[in-house]
Chain A
Amino acid sequence: MNSFEEINIGDTLGPLELFVSKDQCRAYARTMGMGEGAGRFTDDEAARKEGLPGMIIPGNMSLGLLSKLVTDWIGSSNAWLTRMNTTYRVPVQPDHTVTIHGFITNKNPEERTTEIDVWMENEESERLVTGTATVEFRK
């Protein structure tokens, strides 16, 4: 990542292209200890009974993947993701490729922060999850 001084509004992060498998989705649900009510994240049939097209990725997992775009960009620099605000627009289905994008929309030199629009798209470029992230650069 560039230093705070070298960052410009309009700079982009990623894109990060990911194939999220059903097994990865199940592993996430298992790691999180999701029990009752997690069927929609682990089983196609249980998800269909809830009116969904099939298994979906937990919202928190999408939040984690959007955050990963930002923390990958930060790397080992002395910067900190201070905020991530997400909106779940469309259920995200596993066994599909999603692409995560970021775009710097603002830079505050006094607070040494940047604002970043982040979003996850499917193969049809439909925005499934959108959000804004704030990163603080420490001296």
Chain B
Amino acid sequence: MAVNYDPALINKTFEITEPVEVKADKIKRYCAALGETNPIYTDEEAAKKGPYGGIVAPPSFAVTFRNGRHFFDNVPRFGLRGFDAGKDVEFVAPIRPGDQVTLSSHVKEIYEKTGRTGTMVFVVIRSTLKNQNDQVLAHIDHRFMNRP
């Protein structure tokens, strides 16, 4: 059974968020919550001697930016409530304190898969993070699983 959806949904940007400034303090609190102790993320002096010449956020900080208010309204649903099945994140460039980060999101793909537990429909939403210089920082593919 092929999954039915409007092909016009694919690749159409449905949301671009307002810029959010990256604060060094938020990077510190993020590190504390994960037990991250590498000083290149929190200590200016140590970070200056590190590979990035200053403080950067841990790569996984990319997933902390909130989607816009209408994000979930634009995630196509198939049957019962979908849930977060995983994420594929490409870390393109370091995120630094002072960066103004925006997210733009589109439906990347919709596909069906049959496993031991039955048929599932996966919806992949790609969010691209950019800074104030229009530099891409990361691509995040959110994989939502639905049971039709």
Contact = CB atoms under 8 A, between A and B. Distances in A.
Q: Do A and B associate with each other?
A: yes
Contacts of B30: 31, 64
Contact of B89 (A24, A63, A71, A78): A63
B7 interface: no
A72 B38 contact: yes
Contacts of A61: 33-34
A27 B91 contact: no
B26 interface: yes
B89 A84 contact: yes
Interface residues of B, number: 28
Contacts of A87: 85-86, 143
A88 B59 contact: no
Most chain A CB within 10 A, of B38, B58, B66, B89, is at: B89
A109 interface: no
Contact of B35 (A18, A59, A76, A82): A18
Interface in B54-89: 58-60, 63-64, 66, 84-89
By size class, the interface of chain A is: 20 to 34
Nearest to A67: B60
Contact of A31 (B33, B86, B89): B33
A85 B87 contact: yes
Contact of B87 (A28, A60, A71, A82): A60
B19 interface: no
Interface in A1-58: 18, 24, 27-28, 31-33
Given A63-B60, A68-B58, A85-B86, A80 B34 contact: no
Contact of A64 (B60, B85, B143): B60
B38 A71 contact: yes
Interface of B: 26, 29-30, 32-36, 38, 40, 50-51, 58-60, 63-64, 66, 84-92, 143
Interface of A: 18, 24, 27-28, 31-33, 59-61, 63-65, 67-68, 71-72, 75-78, 80-88, 131
4 cross-chain pairs, A with B, having the tightest CB-CB distances, nearest first: A67-B60, A85-B88, A87-B86, A28-B33
14 contacts: A24-B35, A27-B33, A31-B26, A31-B33, A32-B66, A60-B87, A64-B58, A67-B58, A80-B59, A82-B91, A84-B60, A87-B143, A88-B84, A88-B86
